[in-house]
Chains A and B, each alone.
Chain A
Amino acid sequence: MTRSHASDAPLPEGAFPPTEAMLSEPVPSAQAEAQADRLRAVWATPKGWRYWSAVNNSEVGVWYALTALAFMLCAGVLALLMRVQLAVPGNDFLSADRFNQFFTMHGSAMMFLFAVPMFEAISIILLPALLGARDLPFPRLSAYGYWCFLIGGVFVMGSILFDTAPKSGWFMYPPLATQDEGLGSDIWLLGLSFIEVASIAAAVELIVGVLKCRPPGMRVNLMPLYAWYVLVVGGMILFAFPPLIAGDLLFEMERGFDWPFFDPDRGGDPLLWQHLFWIFGHPEVYIIFLPSIALAAMIVPTAARQPIVGYSWIVLSAVGTGFLSFGLWVHHMFTTGLPALSLGFFSAASEAVVIPTGIQLFAFVATLMVGRVKMILPMLWIAGGLAVFTAGGLTGVMVAIAPFDWQVHDTYFIVPTCITRSLAAWSFRSSRGSITSIPSSPRRPCPSGWGAGPSGCCSPAST
């Protein structure tokens, strides 16, 4: 598209670089107008049916956010139906099979179709604005990721309408899932592979965006904290998702072609799946949480009307959290009978992650104590998010102790630990929805004119 316009333009002539005299010479108004028109035409949103061929971040980001929101609402309805079933003893509202389908789909949809895509959506919308760029470096890659995500998501979520949804739990443990009758588990494995590819595409896009699309003079040690978090989370996605894709392929080969990767009778090992799943699954917790706290890191200094206290501390602890999160996955497997040495190591690493997390939270509190806080609406979300997150996080610290974990494993103690942390991440993210401006974001509107400034860009994202 750009190339055809470039060929219409007159060939450059004269001295290069231009002299002061050349630069001060006024451009004829007709030529300036024509230039502006060409620029607008390049960045214009396609009209009519061609709208869906748009690749600009302001369109793709909004589609991404709205699709993720729609999947979240579906998953929310499933949760409501499950709670109806559990409201009274001996209820026959849902059959056991359907309950398993809803349970599996709620977890899978919230993790794969909402939490990670929503991070990608918000980052795709916000990042160019924060970096003063017109778009991300590979617009077609974002569009590719979105369509991949939509296809995979509809495939997995749609299976519930045909009563063939996956029903072996959102973590698909063998042998339950390998011996599961019907197509459910295959739909999970194949459909989610699409979404994993989409996540990796978005991660590549965002990492390169942070590293290459900064304006002149914005060095990495000066860029907005949000960009730092995006960089860390992008790196985490890049390392966390490939093991899961590999695991999915092995699993599908076992189910489809009877290759015994996870079958202990024929030399396989069911624990292999748990390792592959949780080396993805634990970083996933921080892949969800860090982007949310990143938004808090932008809102807190705005509300406090002071630059953030301890910028480098926050950056270091974000990187530290990202790094540590890859050394904790076994705390999801404390009850599988692993050697005591591994339990001790992973228990200690799980406790250690409190340190960088605590530093980030204390840095926010310190910023608030330095500044003259204006209680803007997003601060209420931050307050709620902090209260919920510290509760969820502290129970997480409790279950990181292996002997205690043995007692509460598979009980309702674990459910709130997981849910409150997700909820906290969500409320930090919602705080973004109601904010008016953040420091260092450009005042000029986004390329396609999605409202006058970043607030207009992101309000659809985090409704």
Chain B
Amino acid sequence: MRRGQRAAVGLLILSGAGGCHGPQSVFSAGGADAIELNRLFAVMLVGAVILWISLNGLFFHGTRRRTGHMSRKLAEAVIIGGGILPMERAALVSWIANAGAIKPEAQMPAFAHLSKTELDRLAGWLEALE
């Protein structure tokens, strides 16, 4: 697209946004109560857009970009919460004990030989770090 065309499209979008003001606009709230709702709508809209992009992006990534790079075990974690491990004691303990089981490409060796209390103290120390 040439620079002139880009500028024209930009101006068009800006002038369109100018039309969002007025009695029927969702952007300009008409009173204190409406502001609350307006905020609710904005938060939900942003959240929905982020969720939409992430899920469909994950689908696109899995089908078109990188296929077959994940272990079944990790994939089962994806089912809940998109594979994000919660930052908590149990997750840290299992990560230290065997990182490869969670992320196959991880270079970190398994520390399964450590006792349960040692793992727990290590995880506690990690949690204490800023």
B residues near A362, Cβ cutoff 8 Å: 78-80, 82
Nearest A-chain residue to B52, judged by Cβ: A390
A397 interfacial by beta-carbon distance below 8 Å = yes
The answer to whether A390 touches B56, judged by C-beta atoms less than 8 angstroms apart, is: yes
Enumerate B22-48 residues with CB–CB distance to A below 8 Å.
37, 40-41, 44-45, 48
Report Cα–Cα, A361/B82, bound state, in Å. 10
Report Cα–Cα, A375/B45, bound state, in Å. 31
The answer to whether B76 touches A309, judged by C-beta atoms less than 8 angstroms apart, is: yes
Report Cα–Cα, A10/B60, bound state, in Å. 62
A363 interfacial by beta-carbon distance below 8 Å = yes
Report Cα–Cα, A398/B26, bound state, in Å. 15
Enumerate A343-399 residues with CB–CB distance to B below 8 Å.
359, 361-363, 365-373, 375, 379, 383, 386-387, 390-391, 394-395, 397-398
A403 interfacial by beta-carbon distance below 8 Å = yes
A residues near B114, Cβ cutoff 8 Å: none
Enumerate B54-105 residues with CB–CB distance to A below 8 Å.
55-56, 58-64, 66-72, 75-76, 78-80, 82-83
The answer to whether A366 touches B76, judged by C-beta atoms less than 8 angstroms apart, is: yes
A residues near B80, Cβ cutoff 8 Å: 359, 362
The answer to whether A366 touches B79, judged by C-beta atoms less than 8 angstroms apart, is: yes
The answer to whether B59 touches A391, judged by C-beta atoms less than 8 angstroms apart, is: no
The answer to whether B70 touches A365, judged by C-beta atoms less than 8 angstroms apart, is: no
The answer to whether B78 touches A369, judged by C-beta atoms less than 8 angstroms apart, is: yes
The answer to whether A366 touches B37, judged by C-beta atoms less than 8 angstroms apart, is: no
A residues near B83, Cβ cutoff 8 Å: 366
Q: How extensive is the interface on chain B, given as a class?
A: 20 to 34
A residues near B59, Cβ cutoff 8 Å: 365, 368, 383, 386
A313 interfacial by beta-carbon distance below 8 Å = yes
The distance from the CB of B129 to the nearest CB of chain A, in whole angstroms, is 31
Report Cα–Cα, A306/B75, bound state, in Å. 12
The answer to whether B44 touches A369, judged by C-beta atoms less than 8 angstroms apart, is: no
Report Cα–Cα, A391/B45, bound state, in Å. 11
The answer to whether A386 touches B56, judged by C-beta atoms less than 8 angstroms apart, is: yes
Q: Known interface pairs A386-B59, A404-B37. Does A310 touch B76 (Cβ–Cβ under 8 Å)?
A: yes
A residues near B44, Cβ cutoff 8 Å: 397-398, 401, 404
Q: Which of A's residues lie within 8 Å of B, judged by CB?
A: 303-304, 306, 309-310, 313, 359, 361-363, 365-373, 375, 379, 383, 386-387, 390-391, 394-395, 397-398, 401, 403-404, 407
20 additional A-B pairs beyond A366-B83, A369-B61, beta carbons within 8 Å, are: A303-B63, A309-B76, A359-B79, A359-B80, A362-B78, A363-B79, A365-B78, A369-B58, A370-B70, A370-B71, A370-B72, A371-B68, A383-B59, A387-B56, A395-B48, A397-B44, A397-B48, A398-B44, A401-B44, A403-B37
A-B contact pairs, 30 of them (CB 8 A): A304-B67, A309-B72, A359-B79, A362-B79, A363-B79, A366-B75, A368-B67, A369-B58, A369-B70, A369-B75, A370-B72, A370-B75, A373-B62, A373-B68, A375-B63, A383-B59, A386-B56, A386-B59, A390-B51, A390-B52, A390-B56, A397-B44, A397-B48, A398-B45, A401-B40, A403-B40, A404-B41, A404-B44, A407-B37, A407-B41
Q: Which of B's residues lie within 8 Å of A, judged by CB?
A: 37, 40-41, 44-45, 48, 51-52, 55-56, 58-64, 66-72, 75-76, 78-80, 82-83
